[in-house]
Amino acid sequence: MAEHDLEFAGAADLPSLDRLLGMPDFQAALADFGRTQVTDALRRDLDACRAAALAGTLTHDTLVPARFGARVTRALTERNRATLRPVFNLTGTVLHTNLGRALLPEVAVEAVMQALTAPANLEFDLATGGRGDRDDLVAPVLCELTGGEAATVVNNNAAAVLLMLATLAKRRDVVVSRGELVEIGGAFRIPDIMTHAGAKLVEVGTTNRTHAADYRNAIGEKTALLMKVHCSNYAVTGFTKSVDVAEVVQIAKPHGVPVAVDLGSGTLTPLERWGLPHETTVQETIAAGADLVTFSGDKLLGGPQAGMIVGRKDLIARIKKHPLKRALRVGKLTLAALEPVLRLYRDPDHLAERLTTLRLLTRTRDDMMAQAQRLAPVLAQSLGDAYTVSAAPMVSQIGSGALPVEQLPSYGLAIVPAGGGKRGSGRALAALEAALRALPYPVIGRIADQRLWLDLRCLEATDEARLALQFSELRA
């Protein structure tokens, strides 16, 4: 019985809160988190100890002051850890919507830092000393790069489409091919945007075939727009037919009906220059005669989340006056990031090295293979005999609905449980994938074909050592 009394503690053995707070074991926590947080956390820990004592399960080891200090520090560290955290994107998808899409180039990061720490002429005209228009910070370079007469910027491309329709087509008809009634992530659909903008959708053609006559026959007194939607997140193949922008423009022109194009991914330069598949550019769409073009900032353009509308000056002026424009406008941080990204396009000769998105898309397979060969033994040592790690070829994709059927040759690490296809390998892969996500700097891969794939396309040279360190922490 005496031995039992020594092993377990009672409620009377608990130290006082004030006494613990005065001990050296809590001084670092007090400095880092403040007295209020530390006191609350310690009180919760003491309550848990008291409950354990009443249940007869409290050990004396639990009451060592250093243990109290460690538990409180651990709890507060977890509580104060940022919810939005940087991760390693090893999924093979460059523009991963769930991981934040485009990464900003250094010039944009520097501009955002400056905007964060100093007043700026967001809506102040430095030439006249009067009130300015925040769109004027980026509209000139947008028009220069796209050929549009005017431009405005809102929160994202969905907002751009919503604002355009609410301004120009409320209680009027908008003609769209059935093959272009797209749904993007989160069940967000073009017909739903039409409804909430107050426009009436007029569907023409069929899912796989739409003809010029379909547009021509749909035009009536209440037609506000003929609208083309770029099918950026899927492809229809086989027995298909669509009408290009230039032909739709010729159909609309005699009736005085504007043509709007939701271009989605919004590239501003021909990607084939760098060996990538062709994606319709904003310039090509404007040159084809589109009156308005909407597109995203954080996809192929490689900038911050934003939605841009470029095109006819008179239509843009009407859009800017709509009450929704203020509700959907962007702040100074978005504009601070967007302007330097747009300026990079003035120098296409250096774009692939300076624009992060394009740099990742154009990485060579040999470069990624060399990384994989360096990292494979590090990860293999951390995992021990439970898994087999190999440097392996794989394919990555652009992502965020851009060129959905195109694949990029890539290289990375392929991981299989020891013994290959043994029963229970799926659980082993899921456990490893969860362990990688739980690292201090989470590593995000993908499971497919009974393997865990860690695609290195998005691993820049400057981050390789940090990833190797994460692999080492996996062992612990």
> 56-90, pLDDT tens digit by residue?
999 999 999 999 999 999 999 999 999 999 999 99
Q: What is the Cα–Cα distance from 313 to 310, expressed in whole angstroms?
A: 9
In this prediction, residues 276-303 reach a mean pLDDT of 95
Planar angle of CA 71, 440, 38, nearest 5 degrees: 30
**Amino acid 5: pLDDT:** 46
Regarding the domain delimited by 88-96+360-475, which CATH topology (the fold level of the hierarchy) does it fall under?
Answer: Aspartate Aminotransferase, domain 1 (3.90.1150)
Share of the chain above pLDDT 70, in %: 94
Q: What is the Cα–Cα distance from 85 to 203, expressed in whole angstroms?
A: 43
User: How many other C-beta atoms lie within 10 A of the C-beta of residue 6?
Assistant: 9
**Maximum Cα–Cα distance for the chain, whole Å?**
101
316: left (phi over 0), alpha (psi -120 to 50) or beta: alpha
**Amino acid 241: pLDDT:** 85
Model confidence at 236, pLDDT cuts 50, 70, 90, reads low
User: How many other C-beta atoms lie within 10 A of the C-beta of residue 438?
Assistant: 10
**Amino acid 291: pLDDT:** 98
Specify the length of the chain in residues: 476
In this prediction, residues 268-288 reach a mean pLDDT of 94
Q: What is the Cα–Cα distance from 162 to 169, expressed in whole angstroms?
A: 10
CATH of segment(s) 106-354: 3.40.640.10
Convert the pLDDT of each residue in 89-118 to its tens digit.
Answer: 999 999 999 999 999 999 999 999 999 999
In this prediction, residues 29-51 reach a mean pLDDT of 96
Kindly tell me if the per-residue pLDDT of 358 is higher than 80.
Answer: yes
For the chain, which residues make up each domain, given as ranges? 2-79, 88-96+360-475, 106-354
- pTM reported for the whole predicted model: 0.89
Convert the pLDDT of each residue in 176-204 to its tens digit.
Answer: 999 888 776 556 688 888 889 999 999 99
Least confident of 20-24, 27-31, 393-397, 421-425: 421-425
